[in-house]
């Protein structure tokens, strides 16, 4: 259990505390300054999505006397739809355990979603001004759901489970935090009743992506440009790992500009509405979708079995979560699940919040999307395949998804636009006559066709460069060795070190799955890589027919 009295205030990115993080790899987080002298404004909405006619209640805390807001539809173009000025400011108390139990702020302002706002994602900009010309902004994203009747052919499901896991606002995420003996332990319980961290909803154009823009220089020091940028500009250390601004937004803007008719929903909607996918022809997942509940998976699998088409341009399918407390709390014990998850030893052990592929869950990730996170992981992050091409190697150029892309056997797909990384999903495969085939050892169906592959690793290469600090190291490989092989030895560590990322196609039940198992596919769309765009169109056009 989290003991709030054990928490330290921690090194938040505020004038008071930012100096405490001495290094870009140290834990620091975005959060309240807890100081009236610091100009700040933060806010959140009670839910991630709303239908027309519903009221959005904005919970805002600011040290400014007045604040303003603008709501705009964040589609192919940004279109403002609502402004409010001179709203009375109030500095609300924020509990130290807000990451776990929520901020509990009062509603400061609300508005009703009118029928004439088009379905899609909406960006709320909160602005606090002060007489000395200081201005502070904070951003909130929400989804305006489509009306029930006449569903669009395509539905984009935002990876809100992963957004929430990486949200460090207030101190704790599923990675690092402010509890435990060293005040740095991750939190297995996270509340969505708190602001998004800086950079999840809006980013400046050109903010570095997690995948480096070019292969690392073999003689140079390892670099993590996105973390360097975040540290320098006061953004979340995790801004490039998850969130609307880094991933789903790029796909939504591209798809809207291309003329696709689609709706946007969230994983939380998928949890709360069992039949959400029915009626759509194609469900799309993009970016980094690492955290799923059993119910979300079941709904995607049932959709596919019943003839639905799934297009996934995303990576890192790894952890089972549980949503509790009316879906306001996400639980994921991850590495500590066997010791700490209260379901261990109960008749609900299959819902343990550990890795899908590990006991006692034993529900291979590959059964949903044809690939899985434990067979994949890092590429293009620091010294993890730091000198890789940034693309996939093509093995089956005659597959329909590659029609018109002018790709031959052995060609690199997406290397110039850097689509391969920073986390990828792979498949256990073997080669025969120059072609990869799934072995099935990881639960991948034999009918899965491997179209393209790239290499990934769980162990960051250490070239003993003086002055270098590695980010990934061997921690992930050690977890995989313990979970999948039961013991940590040199041999099991070695067995757990290698991975890959795959583009696959799978006829599943009455439906179809196309999966490009990489977080960075969207970079190929924003950077207008014609081959990535052609493949994306081939998949969506066929799946939406």
Residues in 196-235 at the binding interface with Fe ion, rule: CB under 5 A? none
Q: Which is nearer to Fe ion, 156 or 159 (CB)?
A: 159
Binding-site residue total for Fe ion (CB under 5 A)?
3
Binds Fe ion (CB under 5 A): choice among 192, 266, 293, 316: 316
d(CA 421, CA 418): 8
Q: Which is nearer to Fe ion, 6 or 336 (CB)?
A: 336
Q: Which of 251, 250, 41 is CA-nearest to residue 125?
A: 41
Q: Which is nearer to Fe ion, 316 or 417 (CB)?
A: 316
Q: Which is nearer to Fe ion, 231 or 422 (CB)?
A: 422
Q: Which is nearer to Fe ion, 262 or 313 (CB)?
A: 313
Distances (CA, A) of 213 to 16, 287, 453: 33, 17, 20
Alpha helices in 333-431 (DSSP H): 337-340, 366-369
Other CB atoms closer than 10 Å to residue 382's CB: what's the count? 23
Q: Smallest gap, in angstroms, from Cβ of residue 438 to Fe ion?
A: 23
d(CA 392, CA 410): 9
Residues in 271-300 at the binding interface with Fe ion, rule: CB under 5 A? 290
Tokens representing 380? 């293009």
Specify whether the CB–CB gap between 210 and 519 falls below 8 A. yes
Q: Smallest gap, in angstroms, from Cβ of residue 519 to Fe ion?
A: 8
Q: Smallest gap, in angstroms, from Cβ of residue 93 to Fe ion?
A: 33
Directed axis angle between helix 249-257 and helix 530-544, to 10°? 80
Strands in 202-281 per DSSP E: 262-266
Q: Smallest gap, in angstroms, from Cβ of residue 423 to Fe ion?
A: 5
In sequence order, what DSSP letters do the residues of 510-529 get, joined into one string? TEEEEEE-BTTHHHHHHTT-
Q: Which is nearer to Fe ion, 165 or 535 (CB)?
A: 165
Residues in 390-429 at the binding interface with Fe ion, rule: CB under 5 A? 423
Q: Which is nearer to Fe ion, 176 or 290 (CB)?
A: 290
* Strand, coil or helix: 533: helix
Q: Smallest gap, in angstroms, from Cβ of residue 290 to Fe ion?
A: 4
Is 321 among the residues that bind Fe ion (CB under 5 A)?
no
Q: Smallest gap, in angstroms, from Cβ of residue 318 to Fe ion?
A: 7
d(CA 127, CA 62): 9
Q: Which residues bind Fe ion (CB under 5 A)?
A: 290, 316, 423
């Amino acid at each position: 259990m989290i003991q709030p009295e054990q928490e330290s205030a921690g090194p938040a990115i505020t004038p008071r505390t930012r100096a405490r993080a001495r290094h870009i790899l140290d834990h620091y987080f975005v959060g309240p300054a807890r100081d009236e002298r610091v100009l700040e404004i933060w806010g959140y909405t009670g839910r991630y999505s709303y239908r027309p006619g519903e009221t959005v209640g904005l919970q805002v805390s600011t040290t400014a006397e007045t604040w303003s807001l603008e709501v705009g539809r964040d589609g192919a173009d940004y279109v403002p739809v609502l402004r409010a000025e001179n709203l009375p400011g109030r500095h609300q108390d924020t509990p130290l355990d807000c990451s776990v139990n929520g901020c509990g702020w009062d509603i400061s302002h609300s508005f009703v979603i009118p029928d004439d706002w088009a379905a899609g994602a909406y960006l709320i900009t909160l602005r606090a001004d002060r007489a000395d010309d200081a201005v502070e902004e904070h951003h909130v994203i929400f989804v305006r759901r489509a009306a029930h009747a006449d569903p669009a052919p395509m539905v984009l499901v935002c990876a809100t489970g992963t957004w929430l896991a990486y949200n460090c606002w207030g101190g704790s995420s599923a990675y690092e935090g402010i509890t435990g003996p060293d005040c740095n332990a991750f939190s297995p319980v996270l509340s969505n009743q708190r602001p998004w961290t800086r950079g999840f909803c809006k980013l400046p154009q050109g903010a570095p992506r997690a995948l480096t823009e070019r292969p690392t220089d073999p003689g140079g020091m390892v670099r993590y440009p996105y973390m360097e940028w975040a540290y320098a500009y006061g953004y979340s250390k995790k801004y490039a790992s998850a969130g609307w601004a880094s991933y789903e937004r790029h796909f939504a803007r591209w798809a809207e500009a291309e003329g696709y008719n689609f709706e946007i929903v969230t994983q939380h909607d998928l949890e709360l509405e069992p039949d959400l996918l029915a009626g759509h022809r194609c469900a799309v997942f993009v970016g980094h979708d690492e955290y799923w509940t059993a119910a979300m998976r079941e709904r995607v699998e049932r959709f596919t079995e019943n003839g639905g088409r799934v297009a996934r341009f995303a990576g890192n399918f790894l952890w089972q979560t549980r949503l509790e407390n009316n879906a306001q709390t996400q639980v994921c014990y991850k590495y500590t699940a066997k010791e700490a998850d209260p379901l261990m030893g109960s008749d609900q052990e299959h819902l343990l919040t550990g890795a899908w592929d590990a006991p006692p869950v034993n529900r291979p990730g590959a059964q949903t999307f044809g690939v899985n996170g434990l067979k994949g992981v890092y590429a293009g992050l620091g010294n993890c395949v730091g000198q890789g091409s940034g693309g996939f190697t093509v093995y089956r150029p005659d597959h329909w998804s590659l029609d018109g892309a002018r790709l031959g056997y052995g060609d690199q797909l997406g290397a110039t636009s850097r689509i391969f990384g920073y986390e990828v999903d792979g498949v256990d495969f073997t080669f025969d006559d120059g072609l990869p085939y799934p072995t099935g050892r990881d639960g991948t169906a034999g009918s899965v066709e491997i179209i393209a592959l790239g290499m990934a690793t769980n162990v960051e290469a250490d070239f003993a460069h003086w002055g270098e600090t590695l980010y990934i190291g061997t921690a992930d490989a050690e977890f995989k060795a313990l979970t999948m092989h039961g013991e940590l030895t040199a041999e099991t560590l070695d067995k757990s070190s290698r991975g890959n990322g795959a583009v696959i196609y799978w006829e599943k039940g009455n439906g179809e799955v196309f999966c490009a198992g990489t977080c960075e596919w969207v970079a190929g769309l924003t950077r207008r890589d014609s081959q990535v765009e052609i493949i994306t169109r081939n998949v969506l056009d066929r799946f939406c027919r």
